[in-house]
Homo-oligomer: A and B are copies of this chain.
Amino acid sequence: MDSAAYFASPKSLIDDSTKKTTALEALKSIGPWAKRKARNACTKKMLYRRVPILTWLPTYNTTFAVGDLVAGITVALTLIPQALAYSNIAGVPLQYGLYGSFLGSFIYIIFGSCKDVPVGPTALISLLTFQTVGHHGPEHATLLCFFTGVIQVLMGLFGLGFLIDFVSGPVSSGFTSAAALIIITSQVRDVLGIRASGNTFVKTWHSILSDIHNSQVGDATMGLTCIIVLLLMRVIGTMQIGPKGEEAYQKTWQKVVNKCIWLFGTARNAILVVVCGIISWVYCRSGPPPFQVIGDVPSGLPALKLPPFGFEMVQNGTTVSVPFLEMMDNLGPGIIILPLIALLENIAICKAFSNGKPVDATQELIAIGLCNFANSFVQAFPGSGALARSAVNNSSGVRTTLGGLYTGIIVIVSLLFFTPYFYYIPKAALAGIIIAAVIFMVEVKVVKPMWRSKKSCLIVCFLTFIACLVLPLEIGILIGIGINLLFILYHAARPKISVERLNSTDGTEYLMLTPDRCLIFPSVDYVRNLVTKHSLRQGIPVVIDCTHIYGADYTAATVVHTLTQDFASRQQPLLFYNLKPSVCSVFEGLAPKDFIVFYDEDQLDNLLNQWSCSKKELEIMST
């Protein structure tokens, strides 16, 4: 089978002919191109892609409604305790987590392309929010939410979703694992009831260890118990009675029991919070409880108002105004990284639940961008889709993004009526919920397959992990990406060339050199040196097999030009076999008639035979 034939497929032919257009044609084609682009953006198909609700709403039916209702309620049971807990990670008062849990869900119903994603606060984005906002308070977090939304929408409109392609699996794993460890570290303090500080992983642990003797028995007991109970409930939730995994063969009572067990596992956070709250309430009736409680959470819905572009605060009795530019300065470069990480988390979830269908990164960027944008008007901090809640959503049988409607309504109801009861929730219980959730984000399980598959990827993963632990997270992931890109550059700079000594039909020996990838600037000198070395050593005709050379640039053309001149001055034939037309035109731009290209073996044989005949004639003439 001749691989060259494939490249005569219509697509590559079009590519080649496009390259041969003249400057004038290229300029002329810009006008229609822009028109076509604009027209494309306005088609009905594009509208359906950008507003996915149009696709599924017309066929919405009762089965869908039941599935979405059940899923929406179940997700709310997970979301409410998580929203409170993640506010703690983000370093803002607890109600802000709930503020970010309803409006976004409503927006996502319209624009979301993945039914399993419930938008809201997530552990990772909360941590990044904390690292970006620091102790500047919720106004900064809301402003960050606004810019996250705006940047995500803009990136979506400009088609920059492809940027997350440059975050490889190993970098993503290293980053997530480090983030999980940092989150756990931040919660150990609350579990033990001590006053630790420090803004990096190492400093926080140092501070924890130096204060560990002050651990409060009440908090520690509550916290550790919660973690153990949650992990047990998680295991119990996966159990089944009767014939396993085959619901069709289960009896009705077995099905009911199994559903109950599943609900017990799925709603474990809500159950734990309620139980701990009751225990705490009992204690509080007879004096202060032996553990810290989260205290007052303001009741009612947040005011609908513009995000704070500058605000005033009271410091030491005087009113200080914080202008917009100072806020931007406080936020720093995290404002660019956070939207991308939020997208990364979201796309990872979409992929996990897409069943092999392509995920539209652009649409997801626009969707969660709009959610964050809207949320910034109700004083929320940035959010995204969260893996744990997506799993709950999926296993609850969600059918469309409409599930978010019920989740949002329950959050609103709880904000209106249930906040007085939140007072009694123990801090250690919330910390326990976080730890029991994020402990599974430490991706130990990828180490073994990565080692077996490609060891260099494990190195990248490990370096990213370390960088994220000891440096700010956004710097850590950039370092990881940078190291990973070096591998690509090395790939481009050092192609492999296989060398073979072959004979033509009449016995003329020649050297066949086969580079295995494209010729572009970082590699061309290396290739030239290799070709020169081998050809000088052997002194026979050299054939370069260009089957695998899919691209070349001007630097490659100059080097090929020099090579052909060198060979010509040595009177050693240099032939190019199977050169693609697109590559050939790049080479010919520099030296039109300099080199000999052929496309089948007969031509090669003829050329070599001609050469050896003429050489023999010359030898006869000179003797």
Report whether A452 and B589 are in contact in the complex, using a CB–CB cutoff of 8 Å.
yes
Copies of this chain, complex-wide, total 2
Q: Chain B residues near A168 (CB, 8 Å)? A: 520-522, 553-555
Contact across chains for A548 and B551 when beta carbons are under 8 A apart? no
Check A356–B563 contact: CB distance below 8 A. yes
Chain B nearest CB, measured from A29 CB (Å): 13
Partner of A550, one of B516, B585, B588, B601: B516
A547 neighbours in B (Cβ, 8 Å)? 3, 547-548
Residue of B nearest to A164 (CB): B525
Is there an interface contact between B6 and A498, defined as CB atoms closer than 8 Å? yes
Residues of B within 8 A of A452 (CB): 588-590
Contact with B along A479-499 (1 / 0, CB 8 A): 000001101110111001011
Q: Which of B166, B450, B455, B533 contacts A489 (CB 8 A)?
A: B166
Known A545-B3, A586-B453: A496·B356 in contact at CB below 8 Å: no
- On chain B, the residues within 8 Å of A533 by CB distance are 358
A3 touches B565 (CB 8 A): no
- Any chain B CB within 8 A of the CB of A355? yes
A:1-43 near B, CB below 8 Å: 1-3, 6-7, 9, 11-12, 15, 23, 26
* Contact call B165/A526, Cβ cutoff below 8 A: yes
In the complex, the answer to whether B492 meets A553 with C-beta atoms within 8 Å is no
- Residues of chain B within 8 A (CB-CB) of A566 are 355-356
List chain B residues, Cβ under 8 A from A516.
Answer: 7, 550
Complex contacts, A500 vs chain B, CB 8 Å: 6, 9
A187 within 8 A of B: no
Residues of B within 8 A of A92 (CB): none
A168-B521, A498-B7, A498-B11 known; A493+B554 contact, CB < 8 A = no
Residue of B6, B518, B562, B565 touching A491 (CB-CB under 8 A): B518
| Residue contact A1 to B166, C-beta cutoff 8 Å | no
The size of the chain A interface, using a CB distance under 8 A, is 85
Does B3 contact A532, Cβ atoms closer than 8 Å?
no
Q: Is there an interface contact between B520 and A488, defined as CB atoms closer than 8 Å?
A: yes
Cβ–Cβ contact B548 & A454, under 8 A: no
Q: Is A269 part of the contact surface with B, judged by Cβ < 8 Å? A: no
CB contacts (< 8 Å) of A12 on chain B: these are: 496, 498
Of B453, B484, B528, the residue contacting A589 (CB under 8 A) is: B453
Residues on the B chain within 8 Å of A7, using CB: 498, 516
Q: Which residue of chain B has its CB nearest to the CB of A170?
A: B554
On chain B, the residues within 8 Å of A554 by CB distance are: 168-170, 449-450, 453-454, 457-458
Chain B residues with Cβ under 8 A from A169's Cβ?
Answer: 521, 554-555, 558
Please state if A1 and B601 are interface contacts (CB–CB under 8 Å): yes
Q: How far is the CA of A499 from the CA of B518 in the complex (A)?
A: 20
- Residues on B with C-beta less than 8 A from A15 are 496
- From 383 to 397 in chain A, residues with beta carbon under 8 angstroms from any chain B beta carbon are none
Q: Which residues of B contact A351 (CB under 8 A)?
A: 562
Q: Which of A422-470 contact B (CB under 8 A)?
A: 449-458
Name the residue on B nearest A488 (C-beta).
B492
A557 within 8 A of B: yes
Q: Which residues of B contact A590 (CB under 8 A)?
A: 449, 452-453
Interface check A78, CB cutoff 8 A:
no
Looking at the complex, which one of B453, B498, B536, B551 makes contact with A9 (CB distance below 8 Å)? B498
In contact, B358 and A493 (Cβ under 8 angstroms): no
CA distance A364 to B47 in the complex (A): 61
A507 to chain B, nearest CB (A): 18
Min Cβ gap A32→B in Å is: 19
Query: With the chains together, A112 CA to B488 CA distance in Å?
Result: 33
The answer to whether the Cβ of A268 comes within 8 Å of any Cβ in the partner chain is: no
Binary B-proximity of A508-527 (CB < 8 A = 1, otherwise 0): 00001010111011110110
The answer for the CA separation of A1 and B4 in the assembled complex, in Å, is: 10
Would you call A357 an interface residue if the criterion is a C-beta within 8 Å of the partner chain's C-beta atoms?
A: yes
Does A587 belong to the interface (CB within 8 Å)?
yes
Name A8's closest neighbour in chain B (CB-CB): B498
Are B586 and A454 touching (Cβ within 8 A)? Answer: yes
Most chain B CB within 10 A, of A7, A168, A485, A587, is at A168
8 Å CB contact of A356 from B167, B458, B532 = B532
Interface 1/0s, chain A 186-200, versus B by CB < 8 A?
000000000000000
A351, A355, A453, A589 pick with most chain B CB within 10 angstroms: A453
Chain B contacts of A521 at CB under 8 A? 165-169, 484
Residues in B neighbouring A586, C-beta threshold 8 A: 453-454
CA distance A108 to B315 in the complex (A): 69
* Pairs across A and B, CB under 8 Å, 27 listed: A3-B547, A6-B514, A7-B516, A9-B498, A11-B496, A12-B498, A165-B521, A165-B523, A165-B526, A167-B521, A168-B521, A169-B554, A170-B554, A355-B566, A356-B565, A358-B532, A449-B557, A450-B554, A452-B588, A452-B589, A453-B589, A454-B552, A454-B554, A487-B520, A488-B492, A517-B518, A548-B548
User: A12-B498, A166-B493, A491-B518 known; 17 other A-B pairs, CB under 8 Å?
Assistant: A9-B500, A11-B499, A15-B496, A23-B451, A165-B493, A165-B526, A168-B555, A351-B562, A355-B569, A356-B562, A357-B532, A450-B554, A453-B586, A484-B521, A485-B489, A488-B489, A496-B550
**Ordered nearest first, which 8 A-B pairs have the shortest CB separation?**
A453-B589, A356-B566, A168-B521, A452-B589, A457-B554, A169-B555, A358-B529, A9-B498
A interface residues, Cβ below 8 angstroms from B: 1-3, 6-7, 9, 11-12, 15, 23, 26, 162, 165-170, 351, 355-358, 449-458, 484-485, 487-489, 491-493, 496, 498-500, 512, 514, 516-518, 520-523, 525-526, 528-529, 532-533, 536, 545, 547-548, 550-555, 557-558, 562-563, 565-566, 569-570, 585-590, 601
